[in-house]
Amino acid sequence: MARHSVLVIGCGSIGERHLRCFQKTGRADVTACDANPALLQKMKDTYQVPVITDWQTALAGKFDAVVICTPAPLHIPMATQALDAGRHVLVEKPLSQSLEGLDGLFKARDRSGRQLAVAYVLHIYAILAEAREFIRRGDFGPVRQATVITGQSFPFFRPAYAQTYYRDHRTGGGAIQDALTHSVNWVESILGPSESVLCDCDHLELPGVEVEDTAHVSTRHANAMATFAINQFQAPNETTYQFNTALGSVKIEMHQARWGTYAKDSGAWTWHDMPPVERDTPFVNQANAFLDQLEGQPSRLCSLEAAAHTLRFNLAALASAKSGARVVCASLHA
Ligand SMILES: NC(=O)c1ccc[n+]([C@@H]2O[C@H](COP(=O)([O-])OP(=O)(O)OC[C@H]3O[C@@H](n4cnc5c(N)ncnc54)[C@H](O)[C@@H]3O)[C@@H](O)[C@H]2O)c1
């Protein structure tokens, strides 16, 4: 089996996980890049990887692929340069916190002939893939309405959140750009892009930051409506998705590791239980899916097109929260 040479740029919280999970595939030789020398030393000691501090110098190296794990304002410039240098790219979500450079990124991808995927990791969760496959098969007809209710204690999972990019919208922070974007991107893979959004949000609880930690969002898609409720302070780490048609409903309970169907007139849910998932597992699966894509297999990850739609949603949701009015996502096209 061919081995891949992978450069991870940004070895903070998610970058370290990508580094470890690409190693765990057994298919990649990984090099770590970060502007912080102390962090790089930790990567070298922990994972026995070569390290480099300057990402632009690193891009001149012999790498097949680059995994971009820096904060959002660096995603588009780094991805564009990496494609121009002939590297395949896996870039973290959100694609950006503005539309600046987006057209250039599409052009760089198209002229390079390289692969670009966006690490909206929900695309690779087995439980979600199974439920989505059922919905796409169409037994219940097209989804007309969906609800997403999600919450967790962000300080429990990310104790240092107030010292990271999360503290500021301009660096990709806040519940909408950082957390809700995952659910919206995944729901868009079923309902199609959000066409407009009405958003109410606020900072209600999280100490040390002023960005919103709570959001209530209503979206319109071509043939469906959806509603999302998120907070980042509740104790239980729970997410429930439900997709409804007149013929039946599909529910996914992430925290119960089960998804179910309720056919009209059946009178009860039929549940499918899934095995428990370790935190690294989806990231190892995502790394394998990306490497499969480089080897010519069809993509199982989020495309640039889909991530650009979700970026338009993120920006429209923030604009709606500011104005109090519904905002058309398409009107944000550059
Ligand atoms: N998919 C997920 O589940 C998930 C989880 C966490 C974060 N993320 C996303 O990943 C991105 C990074 O998040 P994080 O939590 O790892 O942030 P972080 O702050 O922990 O890490 C970012 C790293 O980038 C490095 N960096 C910044 N500028 C650099 C430069 N010019 N050259 C090289 N290195 C540079 C920093 O030194 C830091 O180590 C964000 O966009 C975030 O939304 C995704």
What pLDDT does 255 receive?
A: 97
- 253 shares a domain with 217: yes
What pLDDT does 276 receive?
A: 87
Residues 6+ apart with CB under 8 A from 110: none
- Percent composition of the chain: helix, strand, coil (DSSP 3-state, to 5): 40, 25, 35
What pLDDT does 331 receive?
A: 52
CA of residue 149 to ligand 1 center, whole Å: 26
Q: Is the CB of 35 under 6 A from ligand 1?
A: yes
What pLDDT does 135 receive?
A: 98
- 289 shares a domain with 245: no
- 188 shares a domain with 317: yes
Q: Is the CB of 297 under 6 A from ligand 1?
A: no
- 110 shares a domain with 219: no
- 45 shares a domain with 74: yes
- 61 shares a domain with 103: yes
Evaluate whether 76 touches 100 at the Cβ level (below 8 Å): yes
- 132 shares a domain with 58: no
- 224 shares a domain with 126: yes
Residue 290 sits in a domain whose CATH number is: 3.40.50.720
- 250 shares a domain with 135: yes
- 132 shares a domain with 83: no
Tell if the pTM clears 0.85, that is, is over it. Answer: yes
What pLDDT does 330 receive?
A: 72
CA of residue 9 to ligand 1 center, whole Å: 9
Residue 188 sits in a domain whose CATH number is: 3.30.360.10
Nearest CA to ligand 1 atom 15: 13
Q: Is the CB of 174 under 6 A from ligand 1?
A: no
Q: Is the CB of 69 under 6 A from ligand 1?
A: yes
- 115 shares a domain with 141: no
136, two tokens: 């796409």
What pLDDT does 333 receive?
A: 42
- 157 shares a domain with 116: no
Q: Is the CB of 92 under 6 A from ligand 1?
A: yes
Residue pLDDT, tens place only, 106-154 = 999 999 999 999 999 999 999 999 999 999 999 999 999 999 999 999 9
Range of the domain at 80: 4-121+285-301
234, two tokens: 């509740």
What pLDDT does 2 receive?
A: 84
> Could you give the CA distance from residue 37 to residue 57 in angstroms, rounded to a whole number?
15
Q: To test ligand 1's pocket by mutation, which of 7, 11, 13 has the most ligand atoms within 8 angstroms of CB? A: 13
Evaluate whether 239 touches 150 at the Cβ level (below 8 Å): yes
Residues of the chain with pLDDT under 70: 331-334
What pLDDT does 74 receive?
A: 98
CA of residue 90 to ligand 1 center, whole Å: 13
Nearest CA to ligand 1 atom 18: 12
What pLDDT does 332 receive?
A: 45
Q: Please state the atom number of ligand 1 nearest to the C-alpha of residue 164.
A: 19
Residue pLDDT, tens place only, 325-334 = 999 997 544 3
Q: Is the CB of 192 under 6 A from ligand 1?
A: no
**What is the total count of domains within the chain?**
2
